[in-house]
Structure 1
Amino acid sequence: MHAQSRSPSPSVLRCRVYYEDTDAGGIVYYVNYLKFMERARTERLRALGYAQSELARDGLLFVVHSSEARYHAPARLDDELLIGAEVVEAKRASLRFYQEVRRAEDEVLLCEGWVTVACVRADSFRPRAIPTAMRTVLAGNPASIQSGD
């Protein structure tokens, strides 16, 4: 999957780079891209009607299972960023997201990542199935849904 040929993610979070996000040179510290991506995933869920606080009360949590990031260009202090979060695979108990971080001014790709989140029980952190209706809504593409409930 080549990033330059992809269309922008359907869900985009806008945020500003603050001093706390940068190193001594005013460049975003590499791990902070993962924080930006986390926020975008959370807002993607919220936009689809699934606030994480409500899910936790219902006994369901999403936890990061694995992540991969590729860094293409630096973000700098005061840049406005566009962070996308798109579900590219929905399995019985996990979701795989493709994420992009772009500079808003010129839409240059700064970082891209793939994050897999697992669905677990809030009380035991044991894997649990994502409710089928939720999986369908989150994926937004019934062809990418894998059955098994």
Structure 2
Amino acid sequence: MPEDAAAVVSPVRVRYAETDQMGVVYHANYLVWMEIGRTDYCRACGAAYRELEAAGLRLVVAAAQVRYHAPARYDDDLCVVTRLVALRSRQVTFAYEIWRTADGTRLVTGETTHLPTDPHGRIIRLPPSVQAALASKLAPGHGGD
């Protein structure tokens, strides 16, 4: 499982309700776990999502891409590795890897792209303070504007 200074790692344990009758995780739950990773990433940068919303900023999902490599099963311990891979004034992209901790199997990779909006859904520029906070862990080789 790769770890670096640009990543935030979030532990997750698969709950029974997240699986089908065969004990395999339902595919949409990986997006929920990506949200956990994204929220933890923002918090680790000093930009807790609750505070962003209180300040009138929303990060709406504009695109999501998920690639399934292997299934997770009931009661697996997983880790969600989240990195910020693109930061622009009007767009933010996060990348994710979800791993099973017991055997180091990579289960899922994915990305989500977000647009900053005001509470009425109008696209706005990220405030400079939020850009600076998120950029503090920006993955090397990825830029912003």
Q: How far apart, in 2, do the equivalents of 1:109 and 1:57 lie? A: 36
With over 3 angstroms needed to count, the CA separation of the structure-2 counterparts of 1:102 and 1:67, relative to structure 1, is same
1:87 corresponding residue in structure 2: 84
| 1:131 aligned onto 2:127 | yes
Identity %: 35
AA partner of residue 43 (structure 2): R
Classify the secondary structure of the residue corresponding to 2:43: helix
AA partner of residue 132 (structure 1): P
- What pairs with 1:37-116 in structure 2 (closer than 5 Å)? 37-116=34-113
Structure 2: 5+ residue stretches without partners:
none
Q: How far apart, in 2, do the equivalents of 1:108 and 1:135 lie? A: 33
With over 3 angstroms needed to count, the CA separation of the structure-2 counterparts of 1:143 and 1:71, relative to structure 1, is closer
Classify the secondary structure of the residue corresponding to 2:72: coil
- Stretch moving more, 21-30 or 44-53: 44-53
Q: How far apart, in 2, do the equivalents of 1:22 and 1:39 lie? A: 18
Classify the secondary structure of the residue corresponding to 2:103: coil
- Does the 8 Å contact 1:135/1:145 carry over to 2? no
Residue 144 of structure 1: CA displacement? 3.3
Classify the secondary structure of the residue corresponding to 1:11: strand
Structure 1: 5+ residue stretches without partners:
1-5
- Does the 8 Å contact 2:90/2:123 carry over to 1? yes
With over 3 angstroms needed to count, the CA separation of the structure-2 counterparts of 1:20 and 1:88, relative to structure 1, is same
TM-score, structure 2 length as denominator? 0.90
Classify the secondary structure of the residue corresponding to 1:144: coil
AA partner of residue 125 (structure 1): G
TM-score, structure 1 length as denominator? 0.87
Q: Which has the higher contact order (CA 8 A, sep 6+)?
A: 2
| 1:26 aligned onto 2:23 | yes
Q: Deviations over 1:103-143 (max 9, x none)?
A: 01122100000110111102x11111112232233133486
Aligned residues: 141
1:8 corresponding residue in structure 2: 3
Q: How far apart, in 1, do the equivalents of 2:34 and 2:59 lie? A: 14
- Does the 8 Å contact 2:46/2:133 carry over to 1? no
